[in-house]
Structure 1
């Protein structure tokens, strides 16, 4: 029995905002509710509503820049930088810049629509 799982076909999360989300491990891919790992590309001028997730989220920027508004404070990350945002923090993710932002996201426990608590 193998002691590893190789992911060659991540789940492509359907979106209507132009953002590409490839979940490699997590609820949508393999039913793992403990952790999710996703590769994402946020298009220029993209943003999400404010949310108060019930999970910690780690983000690592591969290319471009990404803006975070965390509890009213604006933080901008660039390629090679990372951040941990603790669960139950009010946050908005966006890419108000002119180039796409490619990044990795890890959520503990795993991302789920029921636990993200996005504002309408």
Structure 2
């Protein structure tokens, strides 16, 4: 039995949420990290990716599959199910994603300050 994915794997205080480097769409790097330890069902991915709608998660998974980073396997058993897993090409993304996440963690305060300053300026521009 696989270890379940933690629900808070990508909470709002996770440095990966501030990562300015995108691999594919907004959620691709997070999905790749979820698949790091092996294949997962859609419902397993939904736990740490609870902020992603099922529709967007499906679109992201299809995009990753199309790019050759994820394999989708359908099991036509008594209880049919689908699992997603990284391809060798997808696994090759783990190192650059880890480096980008480490960078975001190292610059966490600066990234938050910049985002807050921008939002404050934008709010002032709207109110005149």
TM over 0.5: no
Structure in which a larger fraction of residues adopt strand: 1
Structure in which a larger fraction of residues adopt helix: 2
Highest CA radius of gyration, 1 or 2? 2
